[in-house]
Chains A and B, each alone.
Chain A
Amino acid sequence: MTFSESQLLDAYRRMRTIRDFEERIHTENTTGDIPGFVHLYAGQEAIATGVCIHLSEKDYIGSTHRGHGHCIAKLCDVKGMMKEIFGKQGGLCAGKGGSMHIADLSQGMLGANAIVGGNPPLAVGAALTAKTKKTRHCAVSFTGDGGSNQGTTFEAMNLAVVLQLPVLFMIENNGYGEGTGADYAVGSKDIAGRAAGFGMPAVRVDGTDFFAVAEAAGEAIERARNGGGPSAIEAVAMRFYGHYEGDPQSYRSAEELKRIREDSDCLRIFRARVTAEGMLREAQLDAIDAEVAELIDEAVAEARAADYPPVSELTTDVYVSY
């Protein structure tokens, strides 16, 4: 699979935006100005991006509690996201959802989902719409190694195979479900193999390698659009931060954390390959870095300046009509 220069620049911009966004949230969170709790996606950028570059706004994705990266990769408005995370007016969910529920249906983003294993059946539903309406659109369910152990995921996989729905189950194995290792909690140790057992093509890829993810996802999504039914991909990439911001991470060693940053940084890996192989130039990437830094600065400044929703919003939008 080959990628054009503009596709690669686009992919880098999405990955860089996710990284800067998450690192900035990490910093901002220490001020105490972000309500509630946040789960950061840093370290897994190549997975969301490698999948979403194949999707249009008419294709839907379901996400997880660790959803900022999926939102950005799916081209949700970054400033709207930041306002939402700060619980402000003008947030993508009007300040009613927060970090764990960011959604933008106009971008095909069905919502971050704070219930682990909550979204696979929903993505199956979006795929059912695509199949029923014969749109050639598809759906992607992002789930973690933790969510892969939920019964909802198994039910969704089986139903997708039975109905031959255009859906990709994207399992991001980041090694931990909260504070419990996947090596302990995933009985078979082989999530892709377990998905294959439901009767769909399934592969395992290096989730720090954008090209590996993008190639596997491109193949699966093409198959889905052509009526070939569901697929699954297990992509392995460690998260840089804890389960939640403030997680002391005593379940992993300092050495592991250091090694991840040094050896498994998907942005560094991407940059090295595209410049070494002459696909992109350093200057192009530096320019994107600067633009993204400015965007994130603006996003934070605007989010901080925005008002909280008025109390009159408490009882609105529970129903379309009641």
Chain B
Amino acid sequence: MSLQALKVPKWGLSMEEGAVVEWHVAEGAEVGVGDELLEVETSKIANAVESPVAGRVVRIVAQPGETLAVGGLLAVIAQAGASPDAAEIDAFVADFQASFVPGGDDEGAGSSGPQTLEIDGARISYLTAGGGEATPLVLVHGFGGDANNWLFNLTELAVSRPVFALDLPGHGASTKAVGEGSVAALAEALLGFLAALKLPRVHLAGHSLGGAVALEATRRAPERVASLALLAPAGLGERINGGYLQGFIAAQSRRDMKPVLAQLFCDQALVSRDMIEDILKYKRLDGVTEALETLSAGIFPAGRQAAALRGVLEDPARPVLVIWGREDAIASPADADGLPAHVRVEVLDSVGHMPHMEAAGQVNRLLQEHLG
């Protein structure tokens, strides 16, 4: 089939529809794999939809302002070399629309709902997608985050391997007991998670505090970690934005939380009411404030990072990718200076502390290259 449908992607479990914000290409444009074709906005966040194939955009179906269900037809792309006539394209569109059932088929979503494990009596919740024999990838979120932070990455990365994204203790739907609240305790929880899932060896990707957790897990069990990807990681320097941490812990209302979350992004317009509401829903759970206070006191005492883990990166046999936003207001990309030569460092322009959300396509490509 020379014609390919460009469909509304499913970003995260709760997404049901998306609105077209604007097209970056016009009908007739030649596009390559990964080219950003348009912006789609959900109630939570806006993101670019990339071309899945190389070819030519022969029909733009959804116009700016239109809201479509997940899986709905955005455009038709003729694969490279094909030159369909208008009637063929019309027929393709008609066929698609006739058979499309909104919500009927989570095509491409890959991930089912959250799963739960009991590890030593403590509940750990996680998302998983993909399968196969390749070494699995485990995604570790940051302070105050959860598995859903990887909404733009989980299924995309699952094309070539099984991917798991867990909620660390104190976070998401996992236990709110965080013990002493140290990076070591979280790393033990991560290793316990790998053991419970019988994953002898994995790629680890950690964001922010999750980066430090991945580093510490690697230090403790180097044989289990095939590679490391660190996104705006903690653990490589001393500085951290203590005001952000305290603000995040203290904020109980939408109005208080909005300026706190805005610090995470270069493009502060990405902070939607739904994003804030999701964070508040998490923060309202019994035990969360105490967990965050314990973690903050244990991991970032007096607004400095307690764990120094640069030494973990010295083994040249383990590939390491570090991704940082140049506009990161929480942890400084300067912490990536002076790392060993085998460490690949990518600093992304116009990106803040959340590169996997703010530059999801770029980050996904870098991760795919890194994972091989």
Q: Do chains A and B touch in the complex (CB under 8 A)?
A: no
Chain B residues within 8 Å of A, Cβ to Cβ: none
Chain A residues within 8 Å of B, Cβ to Cβ: none
